[in-house]
Amino acid sequence: MIKLYLAMAVLLIIAVIIVLLAGLRQRRQSVDRESENRDWYEERLAELEHDKQQARISQEAYDEAKLELDKTFISDSRDIEGEVSWQRANPFIPIAIILAVAVGFYALFGSWSLQKQADDALTQLPELGQRLLQEQQQADVESMQTFALGMRQKLAAKPDDPMAWWLYAGIMSDLRQFDQAQQAFEKSLALAPNRLGTLISYARFLMSSPTEEHLRKAASLLAQVLQQQPTHTEALSLTGFVAYERGDWEQAIAAWQQLLPLLEEASPRSNAVQQAIADAEQKMQAADRSVTVSVGLDDDLRDQLPAQGTLFIYVTATQGPAMPAAVKRMPVSDWPVTVTLTDADSMLPDYRLSGLDQWQVKAMVSQDDKIDRQAGDLFAEPMTINAQRSAEVALTLNQTVTEVAND
């Protein structure tokens, strides 16, 4: 690109020179015409002088002729000057031509340069592939980009090669070109739907950005692997991690328990799987935690109960964010109201009832459908208890919000 800018600058300088030369040529033409006019004038004047000396014309005739000659000379000189004054050289035409030529040259030779670079990358492909395989994590970005360029050339010539698409997906993932990597994985699978290496690599790729959609897709890919090879250790390991990320502790434990006998006893990997199983079991036990809340209404506040109010029963942490770890909402109904809160009532997948050591149980009736307190809302005195497998709490709505305050 820098070379293009330099070339454009040189061409613009040439254009300016052309415009200046055009102006000089125009000026030279005007000077030449003026010189011719003066020569003609002096020649006619000499003829009149000669005729007068030879007594061919009188002094009076000579004076009249000379006056007419002077008038003609002055008039012709003015005409020449007028012509020159409005005929200015137009700089845009040569500049436009030069720019068009520059763009044409760049399109021709720039495209040729890019094609040569792509051809060179294709030639280096086997050597680069071997080097990247050996270096792995130490591979430099430039080598990976050249390898990717070579792979694109190969795929353009042979787009039905599932292995090539798989390799291209891997290198684009390393280059953090995730959209292109996912498209390449999809093309590879379309050409070879049951290839285990592609299924495993694609699942691992999806787990690198563990959205619910990606985790669901990864689980489906790993299930295909296990249908072909039920004892595939990598597929069992990843299936456990996918289930763990989705909060399905039971499935995670089942996958890892299937994996454990396939590993060498007391190996680092076996120890890691046993620790993962213990952690999932602990979380599964915590996930079984629940709190049953019974909410009554003070008789003195029945007249203040909003007709279109919404009852919120929820649990927050005793310290930290006021966001509920579990919440239920419902229209105002008969009293008392009894509900049970579990992890299924969490608002966020990573902020649950089972993740808290203490629970602050609350209840309120909002005049609208918002949990934020406002004047006129009814609320109960919160109750704090230690987290446990199963708990029961009774609350009574006996206070009115008179001014907005932090809950």
Mean pLDDT by 10 residues, the chain (407 residues): 53 60 52 64 72 72 68 60 49 58 50 48 52 55 73 82 87 87 93 94 91 93 96 95 91 95 92 94 83 93 86 91 89 88 86 89 88 86 91 93 64
- CA dihedral (95, 99, 101, 102) positive or negative: positive
Which class would CATH give 194-286? mainly alpha
pLDDT score of 136 = 53
Two structure tokens written together for 355 = 């993740």
pLDDT confidence of residue 396: 94
Single-letter code of the amino acid located at 229: Q
Between CA 63 and CA 61 the distance in angstroms is 5
| Prediction pTM value | 0.55
Q: What is the pLDDT of residue 121?
A: 47
The per-type count for the chain, helices as H runs and strands as E runs, is: 12, 8
Q: Where are the domains of the chain?
A: 2-99, 194-286, 290-400
Give burial (CB, 10 Å; 0-12/13-18/19+) of 277.
buried
- Helices 125-135, 141-157: inter-axial angle, 10-degree rounding: 140
In this structure, which topology does domain 290-400 adopt according to CATH? Immunoglobulin-like (2.60.40)
Res 152: pLDDT? 81
